[in-house]
Structure 1
Amino acid sequence: MRDAPTILSYAALGCFTFWLYAFGPAVTLLRDELGFSYSVLGVYQVFWAGGAALAGATFAWAARRLPRNKLLWTSAVATAIGAGLFTFGGGVPATLIGAGAFGAAGTMLLTVIQAVLSDRHGSRRDRALTEANVGAGVSAVFAPMVLGVLAATMLGWRATFALPAIVLVLLYLRYRHQPIPERPRHHAANQGGRLPLACWLFAILTAVSSAIEFCLVFFGPQMLVNLGWSAAAGSTAMSSNLAGILVGRLLGAGLTRRTGRTVPLLYASLALTFASVVAFWMTGQPVLGVVALFLSGVGIANLYPLALALTLEAADGREDQANARSQVVLGVLAAAFPLLLGGLADQYGLTAGFALEPVLIGLCLLMLWAGLRARHRNAQPTVPSRP
């Protein structure tokens, strides 16, 4: 049911995604301007992810005290402010603070959008989250393209970050009086207690799958630069990866219209991601690298929305708590792994450091398998012992 709250959620997610996918290539261009190391490039991701973890840690608290409508629009304004500080801060300290603010406010916006869609669509949240990420995939394709084009004009790459803010203003003018449904009462009454083990394992799957994507977005352009591309050309070439994400999410939206396809689609996506990331890592040919980036995008496309759907499904009525905790785990791991890759790249070279990517994909497979086993054990009825 694509009603007004659903359409607003889809559109707001598209705005956040545009900022997010412009952020990685923008850090590459910022490194070209300021000349900092791979490790400092990883620190930008640490600040963003630290903000994301803070948002995840406070979301459940904020969701109990603020209506969904107010939380959504407040987060949108704060995200625009953080993106503006990152863009126009001028220098490493100010832009790092902007990255952290953008990570915190943007993740809060993302989390409330996910909460609205989960509340609205219930057991079919997998389809709603996948459809929402189709629109996000369109934004992801255009963000680095627009950034690359504007980088070559008098406006400069920084003008890219004004576009989502303009769209959010238009969305506010259109939907500011639109009520957004609050979480169901049975969810509100069941927010205490521990989350099931399966929920935590799927949350780790969600976070590691995001770390795979972040490492590729941050260091993929640098791999192309090492093959002789300019920083602007390498950033723009990442559009092939994002085009693959769009194609993958379109396929995922069609496949998830029928129930029971989430797990097979996740296994297939991880297999394709592994094969294409290894091809990108090993090839020395720029053209083959761009093709591998496209295929890796097709594989990565549905990892986050489907893993998140499994996380929320396994929450036993504690969706807000699971949503928040998954963002905390995401923030921590999405900070740790790009920083680790950057440190390995500085010490051993970027090609050697990039070996972390297939390791992370293997970890995702392990978490998916373990989460499904834990869910199966939790679903089995307890057999009473004989008197």
Structure 2
Amino acid sequence: MTRTRATYLVYAVLGFYGWFIYGFGPVVPLLRDEQGTSRAVASLHGTALAVGALAAGALYPFLTRRIGRARTLWTTVVALALGIVALTAVPSVPVVTIATTLGIGTVGAILVNSIAPTLLGIHGPAFSGAALTEGNAIACGVGLVAPLAIGFSLDQGFGWRPALLVASVLAAAILVLARATATRLPTGTDQHSDVSRAPAAGHEIASRGRPGLPRRFWVTWVIMLCCIAAEFATTLWASDVLRHRTGSTAALATAAVTAVVGGMCGGRIVGAVSAARAPGPVLLLPALGVALIGGAVFWITTSPVVAIVGLAILGFGLGPTYPLSMDLAMQASDGQPDRAAGYASYAAGLAVGSGPFALGALADQVGPHGAFLVVPALFLVAGGGVLVVRRTAT
């Protein structure tokens, strides 16, 4: 895989998003403490991200048709950076922070939607999976510092806001770099955007005359939904489980989320190397198995050290599952990557909304430890989807 300046620029954008999203997870329990709300109410911040992703699913194809992928990406970088500033500045009242998170979730999801088609345009189908996994590894590498920074900021008495604002500083630096290097990103169009094109055999006709997305795409869609839900449920609530199961302090439990993100970073590095040599369905099943093992270690132990090791193992397995399943969806889209990315945003919206909210609502009833069993259940459903994909590919 030949990496260009455009590749590295997209990687930098993923790093910016990684700082925000992996920093936002540990912030939710801290907002709950500030606002004195229940876990279910606090989890509505995750639901706001989800609703934003659903809105992005409709907006992203429209924006790419009107202004192109590249302008869509840069516009959302600016909007997300400003949204993060707003989140740290608004009053800490649930209705206000949830509404702000909704706006952030919309522009952030549009930004993420543009990444996979952009990398597919840069590297083609042979290496897009490796590039997407590598870029997500960089996002984790940057993002793993965010929980540490938030924990340090808390320990020093500054609160969580200065650490989260670092994301906006990163965005400003990326925009300056893109301008200084005059790097251009590809702006392609779906192969089936022409309504006169005949549909492929076995595909349903879409409402605008385009061929429907293949059935295999919808299987990868379910896999994506489960993997994203597991990731967000883990990063949002692992610190809460750790506090109540092991008696860890808030600062230690918040910083411990770094173990998940660090494990994901390592998993995506290994996944990026492997994706250039083996197809996604072959790699996804063992990755989900590793995540299950890590989740079991985390769930069983009462030792903070062992629990953190379990989180790292869980993250290592979970790391490559989203980029690999996302690339599978792009490859299975029958030449309609922008359309597939829009539907992928619906999967992300449902996942971010249902996974953390279900876990938070259950935690109010049975405690965070018992509710965490939602995560391995999602891994099992995703594994079943991978088996279906492997059968249809043979």
Sort the TM-score into its range (normalised by shorter chain).
over 0.9
Instruction: Output the amino acid matched with 1:253.
Output: A
Q: In structure 2, what is the equivalent of residue 232 of structure 1?
A: 251
Q: In structure 2, what is the equivalent of residue 78 of structure 1?
A: 79
- Listed one character per residue, the Cα deviations across residues 135-194 of structure 1 (whole Å, up to 9, x for unaligned) are 111112111011111222354320122212222222212213322211157364479231
Tell me, in whole angstroms, the C-alpha distance in 2 between the residues paired with 1:193 and 1:187: 7
Instruction: Output the amino acid matched with 2:302.
Output: G
Q: In structure 1, what is the equivalent of residue 122 of structure 2?
A: 120
Q: In structure 2, what is the equivalent of residue 132 of structure 1?
A: 135
Tell me, in whole angstroms, the C-alpha distance in 2 between the residues paired with 1:185 and 1:80: 29
Tell me, in whole angstroms, the C-alpha distance in 2 between the residues paired with 1:306 and 1:187: 23
Tell me, in whole angstroms, the C-alpha distance in 2 between the residues paired with 1:359 and 1:73: 37
Q: Is the Cα–Cα contact under 8 Å of residues 207 and 327 in structure 1 kept in the other structure?
A: no
- Give the drift of 1:101: 1.1
CA RMSD of aligned residues (A): 1.7
Q: How many residues align?
A: 375
Matches within 5 A, 1:39-118: 39-90=40-91, 91-118=93-120
Gaps of 5+ in 2: 198-208
> Is structure 2 residue 39 aligned with structure 1 residue 38?
yes
Q: In structure 2, what is the equivalent of residue 183 of structure 1?
A: 188
- Give the drift of 1:128: 0.7
Q: Is the Cα–Cα contact under 8 Å of residues 85 and 168 in structure 2 kept in the other structure?
A: no
Q: Is the Cα–Cα contact under 8 Å of residues 28 and 231 in structure 1 kept in the other structure?
A: no
Tell me, in whole angstroms, the C-alpha distance in 1 between the residues paired with 2:190 and 2:341: 17
Tell me, in whole angstroms, the C-alpha distance in 2 between the residues paired with 1:304 and 1:117: 15
- Listed one character per residue, the Cα deviations across residues 31-82 of structure 1 (whole Å, up to 9, x for unaligned) are 2222211111221110111101111222111111112222111101111222
Tell me, in whole angstroms, the C-alpha distance in 2 between the residues paired with 1:297 and 1:369: 22
Q: In structure 1, what is the equivalent of residue 382 of structure 2?
A: 364
Q: Is the Cα–Cα contact under 8 Å of residues 129 and 272 in structure 2 kept in the other structure?
A: no
> Is structure 2 residue 281 aligned with structure 1 residue 263?
yes
TM-score in terms of structure 1 length: 0.93
Matches within 5 A, 1:125-204: 125-153=128-156, 155-176=158-179, 177-183=182-188, 186=191, 188-189=193-194, 192-204=210-222
Tell me, in whole angstroms, the C-alpha distance in 2 between the residues paired with 1:188 and 1:18: 35
- Give the drift of 1:336: 1.1
- Give the drift of 1:360: 0.7
Tell me, in whole angstroms, the C-alpha distance in 1 between the residues paired with 2:133 and 2:192: 22
Q: Is the Cα–Cα contact under 8 Å of residues 85 and 95 in structure 1 kept in the other structure?
A: no
Tell me, in whole angstroms, the C-alpha distance in 1 between the residues paired with 2:133 and 2:14: 12
Identity of aligned residues (%): 30
- Give the drift of 1:87: 2.2
Alpha carbons of structure 1 residues 165 and 102: separation in structure 2 relative to 1, 3 Å: same
Q: In structure 2, what is the equivalent of residue 252 of structure 1?
A: 271
Tell me, in whole angstroms, the C-alpha distance in 1 between the residues paired with 2:223 and 2:269: 22
Q: In structure 1, what is the equivalent of residue 21 of structure 2?
A: 20
Alpha carbons of structure 1 residues 187 and 194: separation in structure 2 relative to 1, 3 Å: closer
Q: Is the Cα–Cα contact under 8 Å of residues 50 and 103 in structure 1 kept in the other structure?
A: yes
Corresponding residue to 2:370 among 323, 338, 352: 352
Q: In structure 2, what is the equivalent of residue 381 of structure 1?
A: none
- Listed one character per residue, the Cα deviations across residues 315-350 of structure 1 (whole Å, up to 9, x for unaligned) are 110111111101112211220121111111111222
- Partner-residue secondary structure (3-state), 1:238: helix
Tell me, in whole angstroms, the C-alpha distance in 1 between the residues paired with 2:28 and 2:190: 43
Deviates more, 1:169-178 or 1:53-62: 169-178
Tell me, in whole angstroms, the C-alpha distance in 2 between the residues paired with 1:138 and 1:129: 14
